Amino acid sequence: MKREQTIQKWTLELAQNRIKSACILLALLLSCALAGLRAPLISTIPLLVLVPFSCQLCFGQPLRILLYALPCGIVGGLFAGSVAGALFFVLLSLLGAVFGVVSALLLKLSRSRTELPLKILLPAAAIALLLIPSYASFNLFGNPVGWISSAVRANSYAAEHYPSDSIAFQGVTYDSKHGMHKAVFSTPLGRETISFDRRGEIQDSYQDALSIQFCAKQAEFVRGLLLPVENSPLCVSTESDEPLGITQFQLSNDPPLSADERKEALQLREEALGKLSYTLSFGEFSDLPTVVSKPELIEAALRFQQTLAEQGVPYRELTLTAADAAGNIQRVKFSPTTQREEIKSGYRSYRPDEK
């Protein structure tokens, strides 16, 4: 009878151990897979530490947890995309398991101690062992609060500045180098990001890409407009010190919109054009300007200003440069409202090494 009871007890314990082992393995495997796959939002939770900690509290078996952490870490590392990334992930998995298990052991040990210093120090040490790797995880993969905040703020910003059918939210990534969450959007130009730095300033790569296209297109337009006037090679570049605040519709002179929407889009386009500053250089390349005399440069500037005014091209400022016979750089700068005498008096010549 006792023998049968002993066998039943062993069988029950064996079954319980197998269930515990299966639960530990499943929990570790799932946590490593989610972390390795960079699952949205979930991957920002330090699962590699919290799951071993929870397993140790619930099931015990610290050696088994540490043993399972290695193959589970390898599984998660398969999603890293590189050998170095996989090895790094395996190392993180093992370290997370060690910190989590030791923290749980210290916490359990504190319950059995009656000495007041140990009742205080052991839980404090356990909490520290959880916080240290969690802080490291937040610096590597981001944190849930930052993820949610970035998603909400970026979607609100996108809804305010872009048509809903031109941009779609895809998720949030974390830039560990700059400590910044970046919301990822699908746009007509590809995958772009919108983020907010610690000062609250917006970094909108979609707007940057649109602005680059807009400036390049307008530079080519102005070059084609002024080239027949001078009948000489011109190199044109465009930039703006202010945000242009455009959408893909401002890239077109005739956006596919309704009458009211087209009117608004073209108005925004005119405002964006008025923020552009042009730099024109005589010659095929801006760093190798053609030799032009001072009177020729000033007369060219006057003709360019007149042509742009006749064509109704808004702009903020235009700088015309050329070389002189001595190898110096000549420069004339003007805006749409600059008077003829001001253009002449604004002429400047300087050596190429001067700033």
DSSP string computed for 93-118:
HHHHHHHHHHHHHHHHHHHH---HHH
In the predicted structure, residue 53 carries a pLDDT above the cut 90: yes
| Strand boundaries in 188-298, DSSP class E | 190-196, 202-204, 234-239, 277-282
> Comparing C-alpha atoms, which of 298, 296, 290, 282 is closest to residue 333?
298
CB 279 within 8 A of CB 321: yes
Tokens of 189: 């130009």
d(CA 121, CA 128): 10
Q: Which residues contact 34 (CB under 8 A, 6 or more apart)?
A: 42, 43, 47
CB 288 within 8 A of CB 327: no
d(CA 21, CA 197): 44
In the predicted structure, residue 355 carries a pLDDT above the cut 60: no
Rg of the chain, C-alpha, whole Å: 33
Tokens 């870490």 locate to 73
Pick the more confident residue, 95 or 76. 95
Residue 32 CA: distances (Å) to CA of 147, 157, 268: 20, 34, 49
Pick the more confident residue, 169 or 242. 169
| Residue 1: per-residue pLDDT | 56
Tokens 């707007």 locate to 207
Backbone angles phi and psi of 242, in degrees to 5: -115, 150
Backbone angles phi and psi of 82, in degrees to 5: -155, 160
Burial of 350 (C-beta count, 10 Å sphere; 0-12/13-18/19+): exposed
CB 28 within 8 A of CB 52: yes
| Residue 148: per-residue pLDDT | 93
d(CA 74, CA 88): 10
Task: Say if strands 190-196 and 180-187 run parallel, antiparallel, or are unpaired.
Answer: antiparallel
Helix (H, G, I), strand (E, B) or coil at 272: helix
pTM of the predicted structure, to 2 decimals: 0.75
* Least reliable range by pLDDT among 15-19, 42-46, 102-106, 127-131: 15-19
Kindly report, residue by residue over 134-191, the tens digit of the pLDDT.
998 898 888 999 999 999 999 999 988 888 778 899 999 898 888 889 999 998 888 9
Tally Cβ neighbours within 10 Å of residue 88. Answer: 14
In the predicted structure, residue 124 carries a pLDDT above the cut 70: yes
